[in-house]
Amino acid sequence: MDPSVLDKALLRARAAGAGGVVVFDLDSTLLDNRPRQAVILREFGRAHGLAALENARPEHWQGWSIQRAMTNAGLDDADVTRWAEQAKQFWRERFFTSEYCRLDDAIAGAVAFVSDVRARGTQVAYCTGRHDAMRAGTVESFARLGLPEPGPLVHLLMKPTFEMTDDDWKVAAYERLRGMGDVLAVFDNEPTHVNGYRAAFPKALVVHLLTDDSGRPVELSDGILSIRNFLRS
């Protein structure tokens, strides 16, 4: 990771003060949702008497394949095939809820970096594909982890409905972000969204989080840097 990209963002924040905005996605950018996913898989294991899944851990999730997570947790191939569809449905009913998103952890260095941005006086905008019904749990996780909470200079932009696609929401959010001030930097894990921000805010420092994403075969636009976390040392 090239730490200079983070230092550059902080320099921009210091220069702009409250007239500037630094934009962050949440899932797989600032927040690690694998703890949430592991809890759901453990609950499914208990509900169906699958002992291997009762010991599911965050590191068993490598990408978004529940079958892979079940295999990594120690479930044999035959049972993975037998239970995968039911597990997916169980997961869907819980993952996109305020109750379960409270369980998320922070990406390494994220809390300190966002706090450093705010310490420069700059606005922070969390622009997430989570829908508004997840707001309470999201804010609770901010408080638990120490991320700056929504207030006069900290904005939490969420999809109005679950049904709206993340792609459509990110595009719709551009005007709201422009209305806040000068977009200085953007951090997001999804290549489609990163490229969209780059086109919409050509003067901004747009940074890709190399964590996980939807898996679509989308190449990053030229000049976009990738980082694995927010650690600067």
Specify the pLDDT at position 3.
52
Answer for the pair 27, 50: CB distance below 8 angstroms, yes or no: no
Residues 10 and 76 in one domain: no
Report pLDDT digits (tens) over 97-122: 999 999 999 999 999 999 999 999 99
Low-confidence ranges of the chain (pLDDT < 70): 1-3, 233
**Contacts with 82 (C-beta within 8 Å, 6 or more apart), sequence order:** none
Specify the pLDDT at position 232.
85
Answer for the pair 98, 136: CB distance below 8 angstroms, yes or no: yes
Range of the domain at 63: 34-101
Residues 63 and 147 in one domain: no
Residues 25 and 42 in one domain: no
Residues 72 and 151 in one domain: no
HSE-CB for 2 with a 13 A CA cutoff: 9
Q: What is the pTM of this model?
A: 0.95
With respect to residue 232, please indicate whether it lies within any of the assigned structural domains: no
